[in-house]
Structure 1
Amino acid sequence: MLICHCNIITEKEIEQTIIGLLDEDPWQLIVPAKVYHAMRKRGRCCGCFPNVVETIIRVTENYHARSEGSGADHLDRVRGLRVQYGSRFHERRSADHRAA
């Protein structure tokens, strides 16, 4: 699936980059800018960043679930923060807002 239309980046490419970053340091903070930097790309319109964040969360959860000593307590805390601070708003707009 195509995630970034500006740079023509697929979901699979982003997933592979995230896994590569996690292989370097499994507990580092990964943000869209770090993923794009590792791919030698840059965000242009940055409309894809919410999808990249969701991909980072999904891939990181799966990565730690597969690894030894999965740190289930840590993942539970991260999921709690996601619910608390998660994607209720996108650019300060409510979920029912439509741009077009």
Structure 2
Amino acid sequence: MIVCHCARIRSSDIHAAVAWMRAADPHGLITPGKVYRALGKRPECGGCVSLFVDVLRADENTGVPPVLRGLRSPAKRRMK
């Protein structure tokens, strides 16, 4: 499926970039900006960004790596 006509990005391009990024750094966070840069592209008109993010979110490799989950613990409440 074509995601961006301006930059000629297909959903398969996004999935391939995510797979490459995950293989290169299994613990890294994958963001839309990093995927655009990995593809050597950038959003031009911005009309594709919401669809781009939807495709990115649907990819099973874009989640937060298990080693990074739960690092942020809830702040302890101070008793006065």
Bucket of the pairwise TM-score, normalised by the shorter protein: 0.5 to 0.7
8 A Cα contact 1:17 1:35, kept in partner:
yes
Structure index of larger Rg = 2
The normalised TM-score by structure 2 is 0.67
SS in 2 for 1:12: helix
Percent identity (aligned): 33
Q: Which has the higher contact order (CA 8 A, sep 6+)?
A: 2
8 A Cα contact 1:3 1:51, kept in partner:
yes
Larger helix proportion of the pair: 1
Q: Which residue of the partner structure matches residue 40 of structure 1?
A: 40
Quote the Cα distance in structure 2 between the aligned partners of 1:53 and 1:4: 11
Output the amino acid matched with 1:49. V
Task: State the Cα distance separating 1:52 from its structure 2 match.
Answer: 1.7
The normalised TM-score by structure 1 is 0.56
The question of 1:30 aligning with 2:53 is answered no
Q: Which runs of 5+ in 1 are unaligned?
A: 65-69, 78-100
Q: CA RMSD in A?
A: 2.4
Q: Which runs of structure 1 show a deviation greater than 3 angstroms over 4 or more consecutive aligned residues?
A: none
Q: How does 1:60-79 map to 2 (within 5 A)?
A: 61=60, 63=61, 71=66, 74=69
